[in-house]
Structure 1
Amino acid sequence: MRSKKGTKDLFWLRQVSSFTASRIILTANNLRIFDHFKGRGMTAAVLSKAIKTDNRATELLLNSLTAIGLIEKKGSFYKNSPVASRHLVKGQPEYQGDILRHYSTLWENWSGLDEVIKTGLPNKKAHDHESFILGMHNLASLKVKRIIGSIDLKGIKSILDIGGGPGTYSMAFAKKKINVTLMDFSETLEISSRLIKKAGLGKMIKLVAGDFMTQNTNNTYDMVFLSQVLHSFSSEGSLSLVRKIYDTLNADGKFVLQEFYLDETKTSPPFGAIFAINMLINTKGGRTYTLAEITSFMKKAGFVNISHKIIDDTVLITGMKKKAAKKSRQPVDSCLLA
């Protein structure tokens, strides 16, 4: 009889092979299998002909997807499970297919982790920018109402959304009749502009292309929103960014930051610790920061009345700019948003 300890050890060994299920799902998404099953079922033979794949291989793939829970099988017919219908069929409100395509790209970069650990240098070989930005929209769409609902917007008339990517949060702010400026690189704004236009908010959001660190934005906005950007920077770059944000705000302005985070041990939550490796692989100095580190950046920049709220695997941190808190400082180093 296997001991309880042995069973626990076996569980962790099985975790090592969890990449197999990930690869199965990513491949099915890349082949748009879930889209083909929209509102109907079919045999493996019919599907393989439609997507131009090998019949035997397609049947094995569908059986494995059934075992995972994303496909349902009855006799020789297959169809999407409720989860797949809700999240993996393009056009659905909670669609997550774009972020899965981004994960498929990350798969290639993560395969070079051995060398990254040896050298400390990133392995950013593959990149699909559109899947990345649309994937950020997929993820943000699941929680945007909770995030916006957790922010006190009383008295806020103008917001700068730095590195706002697809504009998911910018659109949510604009719907509240707030003047919003979305600042990101031109390659990204080409994508976000399509989403904003589709939402009918093209006249309510100002798009500004460029590097925030080089823009003249002093004393311009009532609130600055920074969502999932800080982890792309080194500690020094993060402090420079937060200081620039402080100067961007009007007197009594508000800074709201959403980030993945770690506790003081830097090992929990697990997602934050693992995400730090993703930043190691894909950036030169980025990582996941502890709540204390982020708070320290804000205090050094001059922010006061700092508070935070944990929402799932992220933290929402708010700080205020006060007239009395503003002090003269040395010019900050320029740093590119990544």
Structure 2
Amino acid sequence: MQLEKGLASKYTYITYVIAAYWIVSILTVFVNKALLSSDAVNLNAPLFVTWFQCIVSVAICITLRIISQWFPDCIEIANDSPFKKDTLRKVLPLSILFTAMIATNNLCLKYVGVAFYYVGRSLTTVFNVVFTYILLGQTTSFKCIACCAVIIVGFWLGVDQEHVAGSLSILGTLFGVLGSLSLSLYSIRMKQTLPIVNQDIWLLSYYNNVYSIIIFIPLMIISGEHTTVYNYEKLGHPLFWGAMTIGGVFGFAIGYFTALQIKVTSPLTHNVSGTAKACAQTVLATYWFNEKKSFLWWISNIVVLTASAFYARIRQLELNKEYRIETRQFKV
């Protein structure tokens, strides 16, 4: 009886974590869409919005670090400076990729609809396979390559249907592809950088956001966003800054719940959950924004979602097989 209660409590906790991940992830996309391209905000400064979200993330990290010093038994946050020469040299290349990733993701979301957002950024898996081979020299099975080919077909079908409907944004789609590319490179580089910070994901997140705050400044000046922000009529409105802060909190929260979901389940479950979440997000977006989509448009989404899920499952089976072989060799 005690064991059954323990299992029930564990599964209930996992269910709550997955539900929280879904809610936070979907709300983050909708909140960012409102900040980036809604008539209510009406601020054409996507880099500034992303920059401010990095500031909020750093403020949260510093706050958590102070709390951890007051209550070390409840929370433990590493205390280290991002401005050490050795840390800067080793982590900055990753932070440049992090900056490119979050900037292109928000730029993609600014120009495309929420419903198309997942398909617009669906080439991450394809780039993972390409760069894993080019940078790490690791080959991929035929089954995984076939899944990537299907994802590309689904992506092009989605782009074609957006064009047919007259809602295709070339710029938004380009930023989606660049977002997929930078995310792929970031994931590969992160595996090489984590040992430098003792596998501390939150410390790495703190470093990335601190460096991104600095990197974004010249980018905003070059793009002219500093002038746009200075002349923004709602710059002194508390509601505007409240919305910006909420966006920053959600941006930080999605990182936390992503890591938590992986921790209490597995990378495979996280991928499956993320794929299912993307499906729900697409359906919700078409309803919320009252968008009518063609049959082929829905087929493109189904193709991308299904191929992505199959890829995750095939890779998991392959990794399990490799692990069993290595274990047997070690025992021998």
TM-score > 0.5 by shorter chain: no
Q: Larger helix proportion, structure 1 or 2?
A: 2
Q: Which has the larger radius of gyration?
A: 1
TM-score, with normalisation over the residues of structure 2?
0.28
Q: Which has the higher contact order (CA 8 A, sep 6+)?
A: 2
